[in-house]
Amino acid sequence: MTSVYNFTYQRASFRGAEFGVFDAEVLFGRRNVLHEYPLRDEPLAEDLGKKAREYSINAFVIGKNYSAARDALMRAIEEQNSPGTLVHPTLGSIAVIPKDCRIKFDNREGGIEYFTLTFVEAGENNFPSGFADTSFLAAKFSSDAISTLISSFADSFNVFNVPDFLHSDALTSLVGNNTTSINGDGNDFLSVVKRTLKAGSFGSDNSEFTNISDMLGKFSTETTDTLYEPVELGRKVSNILTGMSDVYLNQPTTDANAVKTYLSSVKPANPELQALEAQKRIQDYGNEFVPVPSTTADRIQQADNQYQLINLIKNISICEMIRITSIMTFASRQDAISIRENVDSYIQPQLVTMADRGEDTQYLALNKARAAMIRDINTRAATLRNKRYITTADAMPAIVFAYDQYEDATKDVLVIERNHIRNPVFIPSYSSIEVVI
């Protein structure tokens, strides 16, 4: 949607919420303390530095959607995170903190609201300060959750002193049979991973692909014995899922002989998103397994083994998603929130299952990692710009559009990448273009 505010230089906004401007006042000067001493006629003025600038703006929102613009501006001002970016048509972009702001409701006029906005410049913190490394905590708590999940799995999974078919069933669900383990076309864990990595070579320089290929080969041959060591089995599953992510995260970008994977076309030039999409495919594991009837004690143990394997793999994969988000770079606030909500949609069902089964230890560990992820993404999203859509009135080159929106022609690359523009020389009229402002 084209903005209703047309200024010579820049559109006025605060934290991305636009408004019109009647006039503005700036309070500025020096901070002085006047000392007057007994029996001295001359005072002494002590200069304590520059006074913090204070901006008073008489603003308005107007138009068909003025109420939505009014609410957006009020939310931006009341948002907890400070400072925010104030954009003024002539003063430029300033980091400020909102102070007393007023809105005037006038029933004599329709389609317009008046604001009196007061901001003070934020300045910089030049003194040592402590802050929580939220990304580190998200990655750490996800790693801690994996350790807890493996330990809990080892306490419940059992193929000792039971009929052989329990061992065979668990083995098949992990590595399939001879045909499926080679072709990767079964429902077992090994096949799901192979299908996720399939679509040709990652290139001769991708050492991570070589590493996980070796891991998968050993997993196929060693799992028969590893089933009797559930802690070691859990660690191998975790290493495979981490290695699968690393294939995408560390893929070389200069290897001309590399064959593109299926995710390269879905999420081009974004290894973190590719790794995240790969982990989502793991969440399909176990969906096609036939439930085991709880008719005898052995069948009950078989059913529990099946449940423990499925949830071990799914939950470790979820923890790997959390780790991936901790290293992601978000282009906009909306992108960050979208990733947060998407990953959380996989976590919530698992937490419900754990709560229903009374698995308190696993629940607390996974929920702690989830809370750390949400805090990390929310903290970083607060400093990001907003994503908006601009409708072009006329056909124009991407470089012209970039200069109009950013006053920086070099950002045409950003416009082209975010909107997958085929012909950068010609953006058709009435095209909805995504921008970050």
> What is the C-alpha separation between 73 and 75, in angstroms, rounded?
5
Which of 40, 61, 58, 85 shows the shortest CA–CA distance to 386?
Answer: 85
pLDDT at site 252: 61
> What is the C-alpha separation between 338 and 361, in angstroms, rounded?
29
- Contact by Cβ (8 Å): 92, 36: no
Cα Rg of the chain (Å, integer)? 29
* Same domain (yes/no): 297, 283: yes
pLDDT at site 324: 96
- Contact by Cβ (8 Å): 175, 190: yes
Can you give the pTM of this predicted structure?
0.66
* Same domain (yes/no): 318, 212: yes
* Same domain (yes/no): 90, 23: yes
| Residue 27 bridge partners (DSSP) | 54
**How do the pLDDT tens digits run along the chain, 437 residues long?**
445 444 445 688 888 888 989 888 999 888 888 888 898 888 888 888 888 899 999 999 988 888 888 898 998 888 877 788 888 888 888 889 898 899 888 777 788 889 999 999 887 766 666 677 899 999 999 999 999 999 999 999 999 888 999 999 999 999 987 555 555 678 899 999 988 887 434 554 567 788 888 899 899 899 999 999 999 999 999 999 999 998 888 876 544 444 455 445 444 467 898 899 999 999 999 988 989 998 999 999 999 999 999 999 999 999 999 999 999 999 888 899 999 999 999 999 999 999 999 999 999 999 999 999 999 999 999 888 887 778 888 888 888 888 877 777 887 887 887 777 888 888 888 888 877 76
Both tokens assigned to 397: 């080159």
* Same domain (yes/no): 328, 286: yes
Which of 236, 321, 246 shows the shortest CA–CA distance to 282?
Answer: 321
* Same domain (yes/no): 365, 391: no
Residues in contact with 194: Cβ distance below 8 Å, sequence separation at least 6, in sequence order: 184, 216
Q: How far is CA 102 from CA 56, 64, 77, 117, 179, in A?
A: 11, 22, 11, 6, 72
Strands (E), 292-412: 387-391
pLDDT at site 391: 83
pLDDT at site 55: 92
In a domain, residue 160? The reply is yes
> What is the C-alpha separation between 437 and 434, in angstroms, rounded?
10
Which of 246, 238, 239, 242 shows the shortest CA–CA distance to 208?
Answer: 246
* DSSP labels, 79-145: -SS--EEEEETTTEEEEEEE---EEE--TTSSSEEEEEEEEEE-----S------HHHHHHHHHHHH
In a domain, residue 238? The reply is yes
pLDDT at site 199: 44
Task: Work out how many domains the chain is built from and give that number.
Answer: 3
- CATH code, domain carrying 66: 2.40.30
Q: How far is CA 144 from CA 23, 58, 154, 324, in A?
A: 55, 52, 16, 15
> What is the C-alpha separation between 173 and 193, in angstroms, rounded?
13
Please tell me what DSSP assigns to residue 429: T
Q: In this structure, what is the dihedral angle of CA atoms 257, 261, 266, 271, given to the nearest 10 degrees?
A: -80
Residue range(s) defining the domain that contains residue 255: 134-381
> What is the C-alpha separation between 343 and 338, in angstroms, rounded?
9
Residues in contact with 169: Cβ distance below 8 Å, sequence separation at least 6, in sequence order: 302, 305, 306
Which of 375, 352, 367 shows the shortest CA–CA distance to 145?
Answer: 367
* Same domain (yes/no): 427, 394: yes
Both tokens assigned to 38: 């007994």
> What is the C-alpha separation between 218 and 167, in angstroms, rounded?
18
> What is the C-alpha separation between 125 and 122, in angstroms, rounded?
9
pLDDT at site 128: 61
In a domain, residue 306? The reply is yes
pLDDT at site 414: 77
* End-of-domain residue from the set 335, 354, 381: 381
* Same domain (yes/no): 309, 223: yes
* Same domain (yes/no): 249, 377: yes
